[in-house]
Amino acid sequence: MDDGAAALDQWFRAETAATTPGPTRAPQDTIDTASGLTGAHCLELFDSQATSRHLDLAARRLGREGRGYYSIGSSGHEGNAAVAAALRVTDPALLHYRSGAFFVERARRVPGLDPIRDVLLGVTAAAADPISGGRHKVFGSKPAHIIPQTSTIASHLPRAVGLAFALDRATQLHLRTEWPADAVVVCSFGDASANHSTAAGAINTAIHTAHQGVPMPILFVCEDNGLGISVPTPRTWIEQAYGTRPGLKYFDADGTDLPAALSAAAAAADHVRAQRTPAFLRLRTVRLLGHAGSDVESAYRRAADIAADLRRDPVTATARLLVTAGVATADEVIRRYDEIGARVAEEAEKVGLKAKLSSAAEVTAPLAPARPALVRTDALRTTPLAHSLADSAAAHPNLSAPPASPSAAPTDPSAARALVWPPHPMVRLP
Ligand SMILES: Cc1ncc(C[n+]2csc(CCOP(=O)(O)OP(=O)(O)O)c2C)c(N)n1
Ligand SMILES: [Mg+2]
């Protein structure tokens, strides 16, 4: 382990072992009245948080060994498991790259999914990665209703707003979608991302749309760790920017306190589901292990600030809660953590051997093929649009020459559409 990872792991062990145990309680007992959290549920959420943590540690290990290629982690943000717990699996989610515990917690609830395997396939750029096929590491899963995003910060917010709009519009039009009529969209992002014009525009669109009485069932979740790489976000900023906007119900929670995060997330989710209007949840987090594995955060942060964040580690906080509430002993919690670590390490060994994409052609295979001649013809066209795809194909033979194998070069419906778009009354769309 590198120094930062070792210090974090060590902190968890020492703090958990030093926690004074409370009287033993049955798993079904409620351990926090405000959130209704039971001991058994707290154990499940701890498992999701610890799994996300071990995935971070494994990603750094794999990177050092030259077998992993992505080390931006979720450490310090594991309170987002509570957001997943407050929502339904069928609520579409568009996630921040630090929403690892959300991903694990949701995937855990979908039979047949293995979040450990899926994340590690992404980290090692394995061609078998179900989301990017070995091209990037992103959180996504169709059966878990997690729509994959790129790392272009805030780029997923407009998409989330569009989906929230479409959900209720589909219901009004009696159209079937993959989601229930009362689904809500959840969209998480960082505090610096919240300043991006794309985020500002998307959130404004959500409020503006809802203001006109159009349903907008979206929950914005800002995972506020107070940093955008090396640039601090003032601790008062997110509330200043989004806390008092009419039409945007605002919630705030300490993301290092699992029951508090659960209460706030449940209240925010319930609000959006019932009102079909937007809400904003600020989840206060810490950023542990730096921005990414390659980051030397001591170059721009004071040692005292880094140490203060470590003391707020959310995984350790949940472990302490389990012990003080009498749900488990310190030894049991540490053993659970170690068992999860062993499962992650075992899977990391397996996925490390999986095949990668090995050529530019393989990487770009899913992209629509470049058809510069076709584009040029269309750009220079002075006659009306083609009347049908068949006509187009006859006029442009390269449209009617499908590739030999779908994996080598997939068919390109967008190229055909380019000839017939925008729709013309006489045009039959493919
Ligand atoms: C559009 C865009 N600009 C810049 C970047 C480079 N970048 C990657 S992460 C990051 C900071 C994001 O900070 P924040 O939103 O607070 O998320 P955090 O990493 O702190 O969780 C930036 C600027 C990017 N990925 N996309
Ligand atoms: Mg941040």
Per-residue pLDDT tens digits for 192-247: 999 999 999 999 999 999 999 999 999 999 999 999 999 999 999 999 999 999 99
Q: pLDDT band at residue 398, thresholds of 50, 70 and 90?
A: very low
| Co-location of 292 and 384 in the same domain | no
How many whole angstroms from 193 Cα to the centroid of ligand 1?
6
pLDDT band at 390 (very low <50, low <70, confident <90, very high): very low
pLDDT at position 421 is 33
Residue 416 and residue 323 share a domain: no
Distance between Cα 226 and ligand 2 center (Å): 5
Query: Exposed/middle/buried for 67, CB within 10 Å: 0-12, 13-18, 19+?
Result: middle
Residue 360 lies in a domain: no
Whether 321 maps to a domain, the answer reads yes
153 ligand 1 Cβ < 6 A: yes
| Pairing outcome for strands 227-228 and 231-232 | antiparallel
Q: Which of 299, 319, 352 is the last residue of a domain?
A: 352
Residue 428 covered by a domain: no
Full DSSP string of 20-89: PPPPP--TTSEEETTTTEEHHHHHHHHHHHHHHHHHHHHHHHHHHTTS-------TT-GGGHHHHHHS-T
Shared-domain flag, residues 299 and 405: no
Q: Is residue 413 part of a domain?
A: yes
CA–CA separation, 325 and 377 (whole Å):
71
Alpha carbon nearest to ligand 1 atom 25, residue: 152
Q: What is the domain range of residue 35?
A: 3-352
How far does residue 224's CA lie from ligand 1's centre (Å)?
12
Whether residues 377 and 345 fall in one domain = no
For residue 228 and ligand 1, the question of a CB distance below 6 A is answered with yes
Q: What is the pLDDT of residue 2?
A: 85
Is the domain of 338 the same as that of 396?
no
Residue 368: per-residue pLDDT: 82
Of 96, 137, 151, 153, which is best to mutate to test ligand 1, by the most ligand atoms within 8 angstroms of its C-beta? Answer: 153
**DSSP assignment, residue 93?**
E
Q: Are 263 and 156 part of one and the same domain?
A: yes
Distance CA 211, CA 203 (A): 12
CA atoms within 13 A on the CB side of 218: 34
Question: How do residues 178-189 score in pLDDT, each as one tens digit?
Answer: 999 999 999 999
N-term to C-term CA, the chain? 55
Among candidate residues 352, 386, 408, the one where a domain is terminated:
352
Same domain for 193 and 98: yes
Residue with the smallest CA separation from ligand 1 atom 8 is 153
Is there a domain that residue 375 lies in?
A: yes
Same domain flag for 310 and 406: no
Angle formed at CA 406 by CA 402 and CA 409, multiple of 5 degrees: 70
pLDDT for the residue 386: 62
Ligand nearest to the CA of 98: 1
pLDDT digits 0-9 by tens, 105-146: 999 999 999 999 999 999 999 999 999 999 999 999 999 999
Q: Which atom of ligand 1 is nearest to the CA of 196?
A: 1
352, 374, 404 - which closes a domain: 352
**DSSP string for 308-328:** HHHHT-HHHHHHHHHHHTTSS
CATH number at residue 200: 3.40.50.970
Ligand nearest to the CA of 149: 1
Number of residues in the chain: 430
132 Cα: distance to centroid of ligand 2 (angstroms)? 25
Distance, in Å, from the CA atom of 6 to the CA atom of 306, rounded to the nearest integer, reads: 14
Q: Are residues 238 and 262 in the same domain?
A: yes
Alpha carbon distance 398, 412 (integer Å): 11
Atom of ligand 1 nearest to the CA of 153: 26
Residue 430 lies in a domain: no
Domain count of the fold of the chain:
2
Chain segment 63-87, per-residue pLDDT in tens: 999 999 999 999 999 999 999 999 9
Q: Do residues 99 and 92 touch, judged by C-beta distance below 8 A?
A: no
Q: Is there a single domain that holds both residue 109 and residue 158?
A: yes
Task: Specify if 379 maps to a domain.
Answer: yes
Per-residue pLDDT reduced to its tens digit, 275-330: 999 999 999 999 999 999 888 999 999 999 999 999 999 999 999 999 999 999 99
**Cβ of 98 less than 6 Å from ligand 1:** yes
Shared domain for 343 and 407, answered yes or no, is: no
Q: Is the CB of 193 under 6 A from ligand 1?
A: yes
The Cα 235–Cα 16 span in angstroms is 28
Decide: 74 in ligand 1 pocket, CB within 6 A.
Answer: no
Find residue 30's DSSP bridge partners. 38
Under the banding of pLDDT at 50, 70 and 90, the label for residue 352 is confident
The mean-pLDDT minimum among 69-78, 168-177, 253-262, 407-416 falls in 407-416
Residue 163 sits in the same domain as residue 268: yes
Q: Report if residue 150 sits inside a domain.
A: yes
